[in-house]
Amino acid sequence: MDKVLQTKGRKVYKIKNLNFSIQKREILKNIDLIIKPNSFLSIVGPNGCGKSTLIKSINRNLDIQKGEVYLNDISIDRYSDRELALKRSVLNQSFFFPYSFKAIEIVEMGLYAYTLSSKKKKEIINYIVNKLNLEPLKNKDYQGLSGGEKQKIQFARVIVQLYASKEKEKFLFLDEPTLNLDIYYQYKILDLTKELQKDLEIGVCAILHDINQAYLYSDEIVMMKSGEIKYFGETKDILTYENIFDVFAVESEFVYSKKLKKEILITIS
Ligand X SMILES: Nc1ncnc2c1ncn2[C@@H]1O[C@H](COP(=O)(O)OP(=O)(O)OP(=O)(O)O)[C@@H](O)[C@H]1O
| Nearest alpha-carbon partner for 31 in 60, 63, 69 | 69
Binding piece for ligand X, criterion CB under 6 A, among 40-48, 73-81, 106-114, 258-266? 40-48
**Residue 46 CB-density burial (10 A; 0-12 exposed, 13-18 middle, 19+ buried):** middle
- The Cβ-side half-sphere exposure at 193, using a 13 Å CA radius, reads 35
How near is the Cβ of 36 to ligand X at its closest, in Å? 22
How near is the Cβ of 53 to ligand X at its closest, in Å? 3
Q: Are strands 262-268 and 251-257 parallel, antiparallel or unpaired?
A: antiparallel
Any idea what DSSP says for residue 49? Answer: S
Q: How far apart are CA 161 and CA 109, in angstroms?
A: 8
Any idea what DSSP says for residue 50? Answer: S
Q: Does 49 bind ligand X (CB under 6 A)?
A: yes
Binding piece for ligand X, criterion CB under 6 A, among 44-52, 120-128, 229-237, 248-256? 44-52
H helix intervals, 65-182 = 81-87, 103-108, 118-131, 147-163
Q: Which residue among 22, 116, 250, 255 contacts ligand X (CB under 6 A)?
A: 22
Q: Which residue among 12, 18, 27, 222 contacts ligand X (CB under 6 A)?
A: 27
Q: Does 51 bind ligand X (CB under 6 A)?
A: yes
Torsion sign (Cα): 189, 190, 193, 199? negative
Nearer to ligand X by C-beta: 57 or 161? 57
Q: Which residue among 48, 95, 168, 262 contacts ligand X (CB under 6 A)?
A: 48
How near is the Cβ of 22 to ligand X at its closest, in Å? 4
Nearer to ligand X by C-beta: 50 or 203? 50
Q: Which residue among 12, 14, 42, 50 contacts ligand X (CB under 6 A)?
A: 50
**Interaction site with ligand X (CB under 6 A):** 22, 27, 45, 47-53
